Structure 1
Amino acid sequence: MYNKLFKNGNIGKLEIKNRIIMMALATGTAKEDQTVGEDVTEYYLERAKGGVGLIIAENTRINDENGVAAKCQVSVARDEHIAPLKKLVDALHKEGTKFFVQLHHPGRETYSNLNGDKPVVAPSAVPCNVCKQNTRQLETVEVENLVKDFVCGAKRAQKAGVDGVELHAAHGYLISQFLSPYTNRRTDKYGGSFENRFSFVKEIVLGIKNACGQDYPISVRLTVDELLNLNGFKGEYFNLNEGVKVSRELEKIGVDAINVSNGIYETFNSLSEPMTYDQGCRTPRIKAIKEAVNIPVIAVNMIKEPSFAEKMLEDGLVDFVGLGRALVADPNWVKKAAEGREEDINRCISCTFCFETLLSQVIPNVGPIKCAVNPRAAHELQYKEFNKNGKGRVVAVVGAGVAGLEAARVLAIRGFKPVILEKADKIGGQINVADKPPRKEKIDWIIEYEKIQLKKLRVEIKLNTEATVDKLKAVKPYAVFIATGGSPVVPKSIEGVDRKNVLTIDQLLGGNIKLTNKKVALIGSGASGLEAAEFLCENKNEVSIIEMQDAIGKGVYIQHYLDAMDKLKKYKVNYMPSNKLLKVTDMGVKLEDTNKNEVVDYKVDYVVLSLGVKSNNELVDLLKDEFENVRIIGDAKVVGRVEGAVRSGFDAAFKL
Structure 2
Amino acid sequence: MYPKLFTAGKIGNLTLKNRVVMEPLAMGVAEPNQNIGEAYFEYLKQRADGDVAMIILENTRVDDEHGVAATCQMSVSKDEHISSLKKATDMLHSKDVVVFTQLHHPGRETFSNLNSNEPVWSSSTKACGVCQQETHEMTTAEVELVIDKFAQGARRSKEGGCDGVELHGAHGYLISQFLSPYTNQRKDRFGEDRFTFVKEIIEAIRKVCGEEYPIGIRLTVDELLSPNGVKNYLKIEDGIQICKRLESIKIAYINVSNGIYESFNSLSEPITYHQGCRTSLIRQIKDNVNVPVIAVNMVKEPWFAEKMLNDNLVDFVGLGRALLADPNWVKKAEEGRESDINRCISCTYCFETLVSDTIAGNGPVKCAVNPIAGRETIYTFDNIDGNGKVVVVIGAGLAGMEAARVLAMRGFKPIILEKTSKVGGQINVANKPPEKDKINWIVDYESNQLELLGVEIRLNTPATKELLQALNPYAVIIATGAKSLKPSNIKGIDLPNVKTVEEVLSLGKALSNFKVCVIGSGISGLETAEALLENGNNVTIVEMEDKIGSNVYVQHYLDAMDRLSKYDVTYIVSTKLVEIKPKSIIIENVKDFKVSEIEADYVVLAMCVESINDSSITNGVCEKVFIVGDAKNIGRIESSIRSAFEVAYNL
Question: Residues 129 and 345 from structure 1, CA distance in 2 versus in 1: closer, same or farther, beyond 3 angstroms?
Answer: same
Contact 1:507 1:513 in 2 (8 A): no
**Contact 2:464–2:617 (CA<8 Å) still a contact in 1?**
no
Deviation of 1:642 after TM superposition, in Å, equals 0.5
**Residue type at the aligned position of 1:110:** T
Match of 2:120 in 1: 120
Instruction: Determine whether 1:436 maps to 2:429.
Output: no
Match of 2:650 in 1: 655
Tell me the distance in 1 between the aligned counterparts of 2:327 and 2:186.
44
Q: For residue 624 of structure 1, report the CA deviation from its aligned partner.
A: 4.5
The equivalences for 1:91-106 within 5 A come to: 91-106=91-106
Matched, 1:644 2:632: no
| Other structure's SS at 2:81 match | helix
Question: 1:348 Cα deviation (Å)?
Answer: 0.3
The match for 1:401 among 394, 397, 404 is 397
Aligned 8 A contact 1:206 1:253 in 2: no
Q: Deviations over 1:45-99 (max 9, x none)?
A: 1000010100011110000111010010000011111111111111111111111
Mapped pair 1:283 → 2:267: no
**Could you tell me how far apart the structure 1 residues matched to 2:375 and 2:517 are?**
43
**5+ residue gaps in structure 2?**
none
Contact 2:468 2:618 in 1 (8 A): no
> Could you tell me how far apart the structure 2 residues matched to 1:612 and 1:309 are?
42
After TM superposition, the score normalised by the length of structure 1 is 0.98
Alignment of 1:24-39 (within 5 A): 24-39=24-39
Contact 1:386/1:654 (8 A) holds in 2: no
Contact 2:275 2:298 in 1 (8 A): yes
Query: Partner amino acid for 2:242?
Result: V
- Determine whether 1:258 maps to 2:254: yes
- How big is the shift at 1:614? 1.0
From 578, 589, 614, the equivalent of 2:585 is 589
Task: Give the match for residue 201 of structure 1.
Answer: 198
Paired residue type of 1:472? L
Worse-superposed segment, 8-17 or 198-207: 8-17
Aligned position for 1:363:
359
Counterpart for residue 152 of structure 1: 152
User: What does residue 627 of structure 2 align with?
Assistant: 632
Q: Give the match's secondary structure for 1:247.
A: helix
Distance in 1, matches of 2:378 and 2:392, equals 26
Q: Deviations over 1:486-518 (max 9, x none)?
A: 001321122211111000001011228831111
Work out the CA distance in 2 between the residues paired with 1:643 and 1:505: 21
CA drift of 1:581 comes to 1.0
Q: Could you say what secondary structure the match of 1:190 adopts? A: helix
Distance change in 2, residues 1:270/1:513 (3 Å)? closer
* Residues 236-273 of structure 1: CA deviation (Å, up to 9, x unaligned): 11000010000010111121000000000000000000
Summarize deviations over 1:558-601 as a string: whole Å, max 9, x none.
00000000000110100111001112123421111123321111
Partner of 1:468: 464
Partner AA of 1:484 in structure 2: T
Tell me which amino acid in the other structure corresponds to 1:58: E
* 1:578 equivalent in structure 2: 574
Alignment of 1:34-73 (within 5 A): 34-73=34-73
Matches within 5 A, 1:338-349: 338-349=334-345
Secondary structure, counterpart of 1:191 in structure 2: helix
2: distance between equivalents of 1:489 and 1:126? 48
Correspondence list, 1:84-483, <5 A: 84-192=84-192, 196-233=193-230, 235-483=231-479
SS in 1 for 2:539: strand
Distance 1:612 1:137 in 2: 49
Secondary structure of the corresponding residue to residue 361 of structure 1: helix
Task: Identify if the C-alpha distance between structure 1 residues 499 and 100 changes in structure 2 by more than 3 Å, giving closer, same or farther.
Answer: same
Q: Distance in 1 between matches of 2:274 and 2:418?
A: 33
**Cα shift at 1:41:** 0.5
How far, CA to CA, are the matches of 2:61 and 2:170 in structure 1?
Answer: 15
**Aligned equivalents of 1:276 and 1:464: distance in 2?**
32
Partner of residue 623 from structure 1, selected from 612, 618, 622:
618
Q: Structure 1: any 5+ residue segments left out of the alignment?
A: none
Q: Secondary structure, in 3 states, of the residue corresponding to 2:597?
A: strand
- 2:345 and 2:3 map into 1 onto residues whose CA distance is 26
Cα offset, 1:538, TM superposition:
0.3
Matched to 1:597, the amino acid is F
Tell me, what secondary structure is at the counterpart of 2:536? coil
Corresponding residue for 1:79?
79
TM-score by length of 2: 0.99
Q: Which amino acid aligns with 2:320?
A: G
Deviation digits for residues 128-164 of structure 1 (CA, Å, limit 9, x no counterpart): 1111111111111000111001000000000000111
Determine the C-alpha separation between the residues in 2 that align with 1:512 and 1:340: 36
Give the match for residue 517 of structure 1: 513
Name the % identity. 57
Correspondence for 2:13: 13
Secondary structure, counterpart of 2:194 in structure 1: helix
| Greater Cα shift, 139-148 or 388-397 | 388-397
Work out the number of aligned pairs and report it: 651
